Structure 1
Amino acid sequence: MATFTKLPSGKIRAQIRIAGFYRAQTFDLEKTARKWAREVEQQLKLSASSDHVDPHKDSNLGDLICKYEEIEGAEKPFGKNKAAVLKALKKKLGHVKLRVLSPIVVRDFVDRRRKEGAGGVTISIDLAYLKTILNWGRYVRKLNVRPDIVSDVRAGLKHTNLKMRSTERKRIASAHEIEKIFEHYKKMKRSTIDMISVIEFALLTSLRQEEVCSVQIEDIDMNARVMIVRDRKHPTEKEGNDSAVPILDDFVDVINKAMGGRKSGSLFPYNPRSVSASFTRACKALKIKDLHFHDLRHTATTDLFARELEIQSVSLFTGHKDWKTLRRYTHIRPESVHLDERRKALRRAQEDESQRSADVTPI
């Protein structure tokens, strides 16, 4: 049963011993200590009757994360985001002994993250991966750890001003903005990236910037009018998530222009970050507010629906597996009526480019 000791500092030390299991924690208030003791006693009684084993007294959360990375990471490589979050968890919580990991420890971690400037969505991701680790430790490694402590903390955050869900972004590029951006790049004398072609392709296909720069010429079949986009973004499958994307009639000129007679290699051999940075600089120079390269994906998806394609057909372009996510594009919005204007802007850009090419005299 639990014992409580008042320390010289005035704090209360709670200790619990049940069926060989031991827990101890120090609290500022006795009522907090007793509440913790009641919860832990219940958990230990359940553990004593199950096949879970108590972690070694020196085992900490960092050890568990490393073991998870060693075993699960070897089976299926982690994505960049997951790997980064696990690294941060080891740095910030890795020293905490598994035996003393509690809702209070996790709550204090959340408080520190907020002081560091982390937003609710970022903190929510941290907690999700922390719970994944604890679930793995309990149900795979059979350790007596408590994944529910994360749920307790998350439930408490509902009563704060912290927004745990991201705000749905609905920014669409207007025809006028696209025209201004094209004019901006036409005036640039030196550019290592053919941004006009990249933007045209993104506005037609709805591919993400990483996907635009990953399309290989060998994966484009102009006869079948299909291109393979490899390793598309997916919540769980990080590799091998390839999909066949239709090539519509108005994609052909943009693709042929980007190929330039080449038979292999990347259709757009550019670094995705460089593409995004160039687009951001252009918008800043043109004083176009709050427009990101990723918004071209939203614009293109809206336009695909404006063509009166079904959700199933549009999903072939966007790569969405969850139609609930894609369904938000199906609502008729004022931006949808500007499809024709955006097409005109694309055609004008293509015609200007063709004219400039024709004006060059061969040597």
Structure 2
Amino acid sequence: MATVSIEPQNLKSGMSYKVRVRAGKKDPLKRSMSRTFKTKLKAERFAKSIKAQIEAHDYGFLLTDLAVGDALGQFQSYVFADKAMASQYNKNAPSIIKRFIDSSLADLPIDLIGSHDIIKSMQEIQKQYQLSPSTMDGYLSALSTAFIDANAILGFNFNIDAIRDARPTLKRIGFISKSPARHRVLSLDELKLITKYYENMDMRGRSSIPMIDLMWFALYICMRQGEICQKLKWKHYDETTHILTVDKRKHPNDSKNKITKIMLNAATIEIINKMPKGKPTDPIFPFNPKSVSSSWTIAMKKLGIDNLHFHDLRATGSSELYKHGMDLYGVSKLAGHSSAKMQLTHYLRNIPVVLPDDHIKLN
């Protein structure tokens, strides 16, 4: 914790008292400051006020001329040193913030930055890393979150209005945008090609991952690849009731534990029964998600199948279940969405609008 001391100063002009504040090793701000008073009483009052601020984790007194790079760096050190706190942020946040620290924004005072400065730094990052407008939109959001949280947690005074003012212009000139909606689904012909490819791989002993089983499980269960691989444990599966419990599901606005209970069908039960049974804490599908992605990418390239991601199986499964009679609420809950809006906007793809058989009758 920061230390506060009062040092008597015997100057030519007379006696004075210097209050010196030094940040401790574990303090979020690695800075120091001092202030001189003509009377000991005033120095003691100031020192008492500073101690109270430190105890309240308010480090505003250390913020004189604090630059963006320094402030973001200290925010990073404070937040991402705590695993529980760090888990509340996007996993790419540290690398994104580091790129802003390396931009022209870094040397500007945190309270004096303007919309022009934000746009300039965004342009620098985009030029250096050749990022898409949707990715740049994510960068701006990550910077906004860092500014807001640094102000709230550490008492900084970032000019948050700079980002708010820059966003409409960046959007208008096409520099940032939301990700375009995907419409890709797995076709029956593609399913046959992929199945044949992995069957040949298995026959030649060149596949250590049961990709066909993973593909079908993803289609039936509509789960994210990261949820299927490694996350599902044997303790989550009740072999007597065939109920699979999926907990800690991803949610963009809610840190609470979101749980879905799924009663499996014969096909998914058969897939799980093929997996090597482990301890309750062992994963049902003990495969590295990155290895699964790599295998899928290689297969698509060799088969000449364009723009089909493993994640598209989730949308394909949702669409097929909906077409075969599962209601929108059930599909949404299975996929781990809190509302049907996400399903309607992103996951129900290639669903035709069905006209009624009867003729329209005008009264």
* TM, length-normalised to structure 2: 0.70
Q: 1:168 to 1:235 in 2, by over 3 A?
A: same
**Partner SS, residue 76 of structure 1:** helix
- Structure 2 equivalent of residue 164 of structure 1: 177
- Structure 1 equivalent of residue 344 of structure 2: 327
Q: Which amino acid aligns with 2:216?
A: E
Q: Which amino acid aligns with 2:98?
A: K
Question: After TM superposition, where is structure 1 displaced by more than 6 Å over at least 4 residues in a row?
Answer: 52-55
8 Å CA contact 1:60, 1:94 repeated in 2: yes
8 Å CA contact 2:184, 2:349 repeated in 1: no
Q: Of 245, 250, 255, which aligns to 1:228?
A: 245
- Structure 2 equivalent of residue 195 of structure 1: 211
- Structure 2 equivalent of residue 209 of structure 1: 225
Count of residues in Structure 1 that have an aligned counterpart in Structure 2: 285
- How do residues 178-327 of structure 1 correspond to structure 2 at under 5 angstroms? 178-188=191-201, 189=204, 190-213=206-229, 214-236=231-253, 240-259=257-276, 262=278, 264=280, 265-327=282-344
Gaps spanning 5+ residues in structure 2: where?
Answer: 1-58, 355-363
- Structure 2 equivalent of residue 85 of structure 1: 96
CA distance in 1, matches of 2:241, 2:94: 39
Higher helix share: 1
Cα deviation 1:117-143 (Å, max 9, x = unaligned): 122112111211222232234455554
Greater shift, 61-70 or 175-184, is seen at: 61-70
Q: Which amino acid aligns with 1:103?
A: S
Q: 1:176 to 1:123 in 2, by over 3 A?
A: same
Q: 1:178 to 1:330 in 2, by over 3 A?
A: closer
Q: Of 122, 131, 139, which aligns to 2:144?
A: 131
**Partner SS, residue 98 of structure 1:** coil
**Partner SS, residue 228 of structure 1:** strand
Percent identical pairs in the alignment equals: 27
The alpha carbon displacement at 1:240 in A equals: 4.3
**Partner SS, residue 337 of structure 2:** coil
Q: Which amino acid aligns with 1:62?
A: G
The alpha carbon displacement at 1:309 in A equals: 1.6
CA distance in 2, matches of 1:243, 1:146: 41
* TM, length-normalised to structure 1: 0.70
Q: 1:151 to 1:80 in 2, by over 3 A?
A: same
Q: Does 1:60 align with 2:67?
A: yes
**Partner SS, residue 213 of structure 2:** helix
CA distance in 1, matches of 2:61, 2:147: 13
8 Å CA contact 1:62, 1:90 repeated in 2: yes
Q: Of 103, 110, 128, which aligns to 2:122?
A: 110
8 Å CA contact 1:54, 1:144 repeated in 2: no
Greater shift, 320-329 or 287-296, is seen at: 320-329
RMSD over aligned Cα atoms: 2.9
The alpha carbon displacement at 1:169 in A equals: 0.7
**Partner SS, residue 184 of structure 2:** coil
CA distance in 2, matches of 1:237, 1:81: 18
